Structure 1
Amino acid sequence: MRLRSARLRTLTTSAALALGASLLLAPGPGAAAAEPPPAAPDFCGDGCADILPPGANGNATLAEILSHRVLGTRPAHADDQLGPYDALADGYPSLTDDKLGEFFGDSSFGVEPDQVASVTKPRDDVTITRDKKYGVPHIQGSTRYGTEFGAGYAAGQDRLWLIDLFRHIGRGRLTPFAGGAPSNQGLEQQFWPQAPYTEQDLERQVEYIRNTQGERGRQAMADAQAYIDGLNAYRTQSKNGRYFPGEYVLTGKIDAITNVGEIEPFKVTDMIALASVVGGLFGNGGGSEVESALSLLAAQNKYGVEKGSRIWEDFRARNDPETVQTLHDGSRFPYAGKPDKARGTALPDPGSVQREQLVFDREGGARAPAKDPVRAPKKLKPLQGMYDDGVLPADLFGSAGQHKGMSNALLVSGRHTASGHPVAVFGPQTGYFAPQLLMQQELQGPGISARGVSFAGVGMYVQLGRGQDYAWSATSATQDITDTYAVELCEPGGGSPTKQSAHYRYRGTCTPMEKLERKNAWKPTVADSTAAGSYRMQVFRTQYGIVTHRATIDGKPVAYVSLRSTYRHEADSIIGFQMLNDPGHVKDAASFKKAAQNISYAFNWFYADSRDTAYYNSGANPERADGVDPNFPVHAQQAYEWRDFDPRDNTSAQTPPAAHPQSVNQDYYVSWNNKQATDYTSGGFGMGAVHRGDLLDDRVKELVEDGGVTRASLTRAMAEAAVTDLRGEQVLPELLEVIAAEAVDDPDLAEAVRQLEAWRKAGSPRKETARGSHAYAHPDAVRTMDAWWPRLVEAAFRPGLGKDLYDALTAQLGVDEAPSAGHGPTGAHAGSAFQYGWWGYVDKDLRTVLGRPAEGWSRTAHCGDGTLDACRETLLTTLKQALAVPASEVYPGDASCKAGDQWCADAVIHRPLGGITHRAIQWQNRPTYQQVVEFPRHR
């Protein structure tokens, strides 16, 4: 990470270090001379472990940042979990239960007396004990208020700058806060249009929870206020004591010498804004109905209505019989499926769709066009707000409707384990940041007993972790909780409307749209030399949601608006998390499911104790009107609204808990953002015959068949899948079989085929030859696959589909997500790979060419002209093209890697959100935070 401006470089001179010396001597938050309280009841023994790289400490003073820049030092506990996390990619083959401690930390309750690093009492009724090994805060309160106050205080200690950064992102105010770099603009343009709340909207959400959710709602808001009080207490103390995060100086918020400046006080409504960012990243589904309409029209234009619709359904794969599912017990959970006869569908006139303009009035440093967040390409230069290698990319979701889930779970019933107790290896894959979006904590107090992680700034409860005798985790589910309505435009005086009209018909009345704006201006800062500038963001809001597109239908102007069920309910899920932390509530699988039912975002929840495993899919699934096809826009008429829809608080009837996919004690569960159950439709493309969930399912199924599963063997299965190329394991066999129909005469092609076959037989790994070698065991095969895949897909499908349809389909589902590609919540170097792609289409098409069954796929093969010879020629031609591409083009390099460096191109790099950076680690496609648990007993 390079410093951007001359002013910041100047700060790293000896004169600046002299300035920093005074800050080095400034007292930090004092560790009171107190004994840690006794540990809470813990029924896990030595069976619970976890890991969260790079480290628990995410704050750094200015002196620590300058020392890091000049001397390479880092604050204590900033990166001490990075090494163990990295080592698993090499160490998993010989992993045993005894060796788990080399790769995971002990997640027992409390801190042993000889492991206490510090004890802090911010109030008389709460104690924060930190352990020596990783510095995790263990918060124990004698009162409920004190417990939550301590949670907020510890959050300030570990993530004050990050929390401040993200509350500004959620409010669409990042550029005035952190600088006007183009990618900073792109980031606020990505999130604010999803939840363009006014302060009154945010306050209303707080009151909704307090007034409509009973005693738990009132307690949740009291807990939130106590958490904010603790966060503000640390904010004030760190400012007065001059040990606040150094980023406040680097962005001009506080003067390093005079200490003049302010860290704006936090409010409960900040948590709502922050929750909208977290939910937008990981808990939404659907919303791509306009894009689906465009691709359907392209298919019908190419093939005619009947055949075009059938071809489109092949690619949509709403209920692919071959896709991997979390529930494989024969149960069915119909939701958001294709109706027998659709009603109210509102397809646009061809060529009439226009994306709603978001950005206006660019001045100064804003004149260079920022990326339209909806049209942003798959590969984006990362945010350059504070540093050259940035903070976040503007395109967090990839193609339309593809919300990045990126978490996995593996659970095995006690019937198939060595101990007779369930085993679970699970966690969220939330990207790699420095510091992490998640923070570790233990909370013990009246009605609260849990340890795990929470998103910084909304950590009044542990969101993923363990209780006294149970553990839980989640993966993003992406079922469809967002719909698009076509509102008829009108003019209040009765004139002829245009596509730009700002009035629409709502239940027969011409109604004005509500215009919401953000006027953002910024000045250059020490950390960002971007010229001063300003611009204005603008969205229109209707009773049916936010305007995203304008078009005509049968020549009449309409606006397409997006309505998600969690809009205006960003923090309602707090009730479910409160229940998961409550040992008085969660006592078994049944009570766990009741807690998960109170979480509104689309997640798959998993549970394990000493007796049972369980699964429940959460989400505010709206009940749609009969005959509505949720894949496409529908007319904004009462007949097609969600049942009992009330726009005041965006409430409606929702599918009952029994209709959500769920199970107890299935032989095993796997989830890697794959399909939940038969007939349960996701919110977008990608749940096809080949999915990265297959990498887990195949391995865990084999373990279960053999029996005697242990924590180590289940972790090995996860870790092996984490370094495996999905294309190589699942699709390369068919590719090579088509090629092998005849002998390959070309010596270069023959050698490439030999290398690919050897890689396949080795398990298609993207793995170092030895720890620290920074070289793959099959580098040529990996490079060939990376260059070949996009070429073979285009050559196999585009000629038959035609340019328009191929472009429309690839806009909805990207062709590839290899590790070196720029995608996911941190752009390139994101770890997460192979979530969305065309591997299932290629697999089915090749089987069709080979004359084999391919369920859920028309018998019209796309590769070549559908014949084996023509398809083989297509594959060989594109393979020859791939071989001619030099490594420097396959891996073009970036701010972190030289062109052609294969290992580095794949490597995981923690994206800096502040002044501290970390080394790259080898690629692993695994959860960011991960638990390995096996409870030997129960309360």
Structure 2
Amino acid sequence: MIEIFTIMRVLKRLLLFVLGLILLLIIGVWIYSFYASPSYEGQLELKELENPVDVYFDDNGIPHIYAESQYDAYQTLGYVHAQDRLWQMELIRRIAPGRLSELFGEKLLKVDRFFKGLGIEDATEKALQKLDTTSKAYKLTQSYLKGVNEFIENGKTPLEYHMLGVEKEPYTIRDVYHVFGYMAFSFAVAHKTDPLLNEVKEKLGAAYLEELLEATESNVTAIKNAPVQAVKGSMITEVQQVLETLPIPTFIGSNSWVVGPNKTANKKVIFANDPHIGYAQPAVWYQSHIVTPDYEMYGFNLALTPFPLLGHNRNYAYGLTMFENDDVDFFYEEDHPSDSTKYATENGYQKYQIATRKIKVKGAEDVVFEQRISRHGPLMNEVLEGLNTTRPVAMQWIYTKEENQLLDVAYELSHAKSLEGFKRGAAKLHAPGLNMMYGDASDNIAWFAAGKLYKYRDSIETKVFLEGKTGKDEIVSYLNFDSNPQAVNPPWNYVYSANNQPDSIAGMLYPGYYLPEDRAKRIVHLLESKSDITQEDMETMITDIRSTTAPEISNYLITSTERDHLSPSALKALELLRSWDGKFELEAVGPVIYNRWWYEFVSGTFKDELGPAFKVFVNTPLEEKVMAQQVRRVNSVWWDDIKTPEKETKRAIVTAAFNRTVSFLKTQLGENVEDWKWKRVMSVEHEHAIGKAGGLLRSLFNVGPFVSRGGDQVINNHIYKIDSTGYYKVHAGPSTRRIIDFSDIEGAKAIIPTGQSGNLFSPYYGNQAEKYVNGKFVPMLINEAKIKEVSKKLRCNPGR
């Protein structure tokens, strides 16, 4: 008995000890949270400020910066941006120069090797050599960087740095250009699409390629041009792996529309924009509001960029979507038969440039390799081990080929005094291609497809690899910016973009990787249907979840199905899909059947011929456009399953796909077809780079998961993989939703997916997340009295 009591006393003491440790840990985390949280009120000193600056943080943690000069304002912006987003800045500055392995070790080596090989670092050095260091854009950027670096020197070190053992390093304008370079890469689609199409051409032949290319020019809702209106006042799979490994999201799509006064109830311009970007925590955009005697802008900044790419004030609003133009081309080079340092041209052999690339790897030796560079660009064989050819392949990219004025572009867009000034800034953009959207208080609306556009000889197909040695596949001419697709105050009284095909320019449809017409078609329908549009209409429209094309595609599949070969539950599913209105409601069954049938149909049609490349083909804009055309075809070279002796028909492929769909969903969701609801298979989660590890780190750092109304290629775009799993984990969507009504400029609204801060201990880490998934908004305050009424105040004084 005495021994039992002794054991119990020992266990009790051990339990008390464990509980004490847990309590100490909780107290320690609580104390650390106070230390590590950003400073949103009180006093601080910033060296080199000329005058005191007041920063008011509103209810959503958005800084409203009141300063006597822009230089003071931008230095302060750099500081407050860094205290909320320094870790995000750290990650994004490392991608383009291939420095992620310094943080995460060998698992990011493939990513670093790829980005080293793109030539972004070389392009940055060329751009820096040509920088005008006397320009206001340069000087304000330096002020911003002073603020960032002051936080590095005197601010609180974010938790992620301690967890990974990272030393903080000062930032320079070189880092800003590396962010531009990563952004430009994010917008380029050719890295995945061109190698895929080239493989189809070389392995399967012209007939297979032609059907895929034909689909890219079919079912198009083209953006109309109107430039003359008056102003009123293996490589395949490796690139895929690189994209999936990145700890920072890529740019994907976007919607924007600007409605002129003749179509609005209050007879003033209304502006809307929601760029589609990969989800992550922290969110992509950092909001800020700057006010000085000569300048005001409420802007949305990327990490480490001083000038907002989205913004508005009382005079004008601007935003962007992806143009999706083709600005990357791949060339086969031919080495000298006995000297691999030379390659063939129409004028004989030339020497490759040789670049030595070095990658530092955490916990391992540095990796050093040499890369050859032809007149077209760097050879990708030397950075992508799986490039499926023995011939050298060079990448020609307008971003690295042409003069880089992106700093001036961002400055001029955010400091424009007129529509003409805004257009001049847009005209300086070489890459990435962007649709610049504009509306102002003087009743002007405009859209400019910005980017350096060019022409090849007639009949050349740029979506497969070109021939480098002949000189016949070179750029013939560049287009003047006035020839770019654009519309200024068009007679139909609105401009819009949904990453869709622009109308013809320079006598041709400009080549690109334009997204399917689904969102464009819906936007045009909604804008055409009303002539008294209000801000409330815009809020409803920007969260619209109806697809006009999904029911059309479903109908083509349904009419091609052999009903005699269907079970009673399959017939029930078919009727539910037939009655579906195209809305991706949480309680809807139609989206579940539609998405699964889509996957089974595409798999049954293309997987046998494409082999491993099928994993890259699915979930690309190309596949989505091909699908819309394929369901309309009666005959196709792709119908036959090459793994069977018989030759399949469309009806056989479609019916077999539907039977597989029903069988799968019964196993996944049960026998009751009416219970196959969208909310059971979709989710939205915003992953932090550390939260991706899972477990406790996931619950600490990630935001979500949630369920949300919406689906792929509806206006409230939910971008997910349609694959064998039958679950749809949304990995991208609107990075912000913004609506500005110039009849009530102080009533402008926005929302971002998580929160303003990337600091885990900030109250603004994920405070907008539930509002976002529920289609709500928060105010974009610009009224000074209102701002001071609801805000915390941080006073920034000139330091020594």
Q: Give the TM bin, normalised by the shorter chain.
A: 0.7 to 0.9
> Could you tell me how far apart the structure 2 residues matched to 1:123 and 1:32 are?
18
1:485 alignment counterpart:
331
Report the equivalent of 1:782: 591
Does residue 1:673 correspond to 2:503, yes or no? no
The Cα of 1:910 is off from its aligned counterpart by: 0.8
Whether contact under 8 Å (1:470, 1:608) holds in the other structure is: yes
Cα distance in structure 2, aligned partners of 1:10 and 1:639: 76
Secondary structure of the corresponding residue to residue 658 of structure 1: helix
Match of 2:533 among 687, 709, 715: 709
Q: Could you give the per-residue CA deviations for residues 122-178 of structure 1, whole angstroms, max 9, x where no partner exists? A: 8343625233311111223323322221221122122111101221222211121x2
1:245 positional shift: 0.8
Report the CA distance between 1:535 and its aligned residue.
4.9
| Paired amino acid for 2:186 | L
**Residue 594 (structure 1) aligns with:** 424
Equivalent-residue separation in structure 1 for 2:214 and 2:117 (angstroms): 29
- Give, in angstroms, the shift of residue 909 of structure 1: 0.9
Give the alignment partner of residue 657 of structure 2, picking from 874, 878, 890.
878
Q: Write the letter of the residue equivalent to 1:221.
A: Y
1:293 alignment partner, SS class:
helix
Residue deviations 1:437-468, cap 9 Å, x none? 2211123347643212010101x111112133
- Structural mapping, 1:342-361, within 5 Å: none
Could you state the TM-score of these two structures normalised by the residue count of structure 1? Answer: 0.64
* Residue equivalent to 2:287: 440
Task: Report how many aligned residue pairs link the two structures.
Answer: 669
Give the deviation of 1:208 after TM superposition: 1.5
* 1:932 matched residue in structure 2: 739
The residue matched to 2:267 in structure 1 has which SS?
A: coil
Report the aligned-residue RMSD.
4.0
The change in CA–CA distance for 1:263 and 1:890 in structure 2 (over 3 A counts) is: farther
- In the alignment, the residues of structure 2 paired with residue 918 and residue 746 of structure 1 have an alpha-carbon distance, to the nearest angstrom, of 42
1:222-266 deviation per Cα after TM superposition (whole angstroms, max 9, x unaligned): 22222111110111111xxxx22111111123xxxxxxxx41111
Pair 1:423-2:239 in alignment = no
Find 1:468's aligned residue among 290, 299, 314: 314
- The 5 Å alignment of 1:192-231 reads 192-195=116-119, 197=121, 202-210=124-132, 218-231=135-148
Q: Does 1:503 align with 2:314?
A: no
Q: Please name the residue that 1:85 is paired with.
A: none
Q: Which residue of 1 aligns with 2:440?
A: 609
The superposition leaves residues 97-118 of structure 1 with CA deviations (integer Å, 9 ceiling, x where unpaired) of: xxxxxxxxxxxxxxxxxxxxx9
* AA matched with 2:656: T
Instruction: Find the counterpart in structure 2 of residue 96 from structure 1.
Output: none
What is the alpha-carbon distance in structure 2 between the residues aligned to residue 270 and residue 146 of structure 1? 21
Partner letter of residue 604 of structure 2?
A: A
Name the structure 2 match of 1:694: 518
Q: Distance in 2 between matches of 1:872 and 1:125?
A: 75
- Aligned partners of 1:847 and 1:562: how far apart in 2? 35
Moved more, 124-133 or 572-581: 124-133
Q: Deviations over 1:182-202 (max 9, x none)?
A: 3x344434533323526xx63
Cα-to-partner distance string for 1:403-453 (whole Å, 9 max, x where unaligned)? x53211133332222222232221212222211222111233476432120
Q: CA 1:160–1:706 in 2, change beyond 3 Å: closer, same or farther?
A: closer
Gaps of 5+ in 2: 1-17, 229-233, 642-647, 671-675, 691-699, 711-716, 718-732, 746-800
- State whether residues 285 and 682 of structure 1, in contact with CA within 8 Å, keep that contact through their aligned partners in structure 2: no
CA distance in 2 between partners of 1:544 and 1:406 (Å): 28
Range moving further from structure 2, 728-737 or 835-844: 835-844
Partner in structure 2 of residue 168 of structure 1: 94
Aligned pairs (5 A) from 1:375-390: 376=241
Shift of 1:731: 0.6
In the aligned structure 1, how far is the partner of 2:400 from the partner of 2:35? 44
Match of 1:324 in 2: 221
| Contact 1:31 1:119 survives alignment (8 Å) | no
Letter in structure 2 aligned against 1:143: S
Shift of 1:548: 1.8
What CA deviation, in whole Å up to 9, does each residue of 1:844-867 have, x standing for no partner? 344343xxxxxxxxx7586579xx
Shift of 1:473: 1.0
Is contact 2:332-2:466 (8 Å) kept? Answer: yes
Pair 711,286 (structure 1): closer, same or farther in 2 beyond 3 Å: farther
Following the alignment from structure 1 to structure 2, what is the Cα–Cα distance between the partners of residues 286 and 680?
Answer: 21
- Whole-angstrom CA distance in 2 between matches of 1:797 and 1:287: 17
Whether contact under 8 Å (2:584, 2:678) holds in the other structure is no
Instruction: Tell whether the 8 Å contact from 2:357 to 2:371 is kept in structure 1 after alignment.
Output: yes
Separation in 2, partners of 1:128, 1:539: 50
Cα 1:133–1:504, aligned 2, differ >3 Å: closer, same or farther? same
Q: Give the AA of the match of 1:883.
A: V
| Percent identity between the two aligned chains | 17
**Correspondence for 2:175:** 270
Query: Counterpart of 1:836?
Result: 621
Q: Indicate how the Cα distance of structure 1 residues 22 and 757 shifts in structure 2: closer, same or farther if over 3 A, else same.
A: closer
Per the alignment, in what secondary structure is the counterpart of residue 907 of structure 1?
Answer: strand
How high is the TM-score relative to the length of structure 2?
A: 0.74
Amino acid at match of 2:359: K
With over 3 angstroms needed to count, the CA separation of the structure-2 counterparts of 1:567 and 1:32, relative to structure 1, is same
Q: Deviations over 1:855-884 (max 9, x none)?
A: xxxx7586579xxx9533432222111211
CA distance in 2 between counterparts of 1:372 and 1:838 reads 16
Describe the shift of the 1:175–1:889 C-alpha distance in structure 2 as closer, same or farther (beyond 3 A).
Answer: farther
Q: Would the aligned equivalents of 1:413 and 1:613 in 2 still touch at CA under 8 Å?
A: yes
The DSSP-based 3-state class of the residue aligned with 1:374 is helix
* Contact in 2 for aligned 1:472/1:607 (Cα 8 Å): yes
Distance in structure 2 (CA, Å) of the matches to 1:286 and 1:175: 22
Q: Who is 2:683 aligned against?
A: 907
Instruction: Find the counterpart in structure 1 of residue 162 from structure 2.
Output: 249
Q: Against the structure 1 CA distance between its residues 285 and 10, is the aligned structure 2 distance closer, same or farther, given a 3 Å change threshold?
A: farther
Q: CA–CA distance in 1 between the matches of 2:261 and 2:569?
A: 52
User: Using the alignment, how far apart are the partners of 2:19 and 2:333 within structure 1?
Assistant: 56
Letter in structure 2 aligned against 1:197 = E
Question: Is the Cα–Cα contact under 8 Å of residues 225 and 486 in structure 2 kept in the other structure?
Answer: no
Q: 1:562 aligns with which of 385, 395, 415?
A: 395
CA distance in 2, matches of 1:136, 1:315: 46
Q: Hey, what does 2:768 align to over in structure 1?
A: none
2:479 aligned with 1:683, yes or no?
A: no
Please give the secondary structure, in 2, of the residue aligned with 1:437: coil
> What do the CA deviations read for 1:352-390 (whole angstroms, capped 9, x no partner)?
xx85xxxxxxxxxxxxxxx97326399x5x67xxxxxxx
Cα offset for 1:329? 6.9
Question: Does residue 847 in structure 1 map to residue 760 in structure 2?
Answer: no
Alignment partner, residue 360 of structure 1: none
Deviation at 1:796, TM superposition (A): 4.2
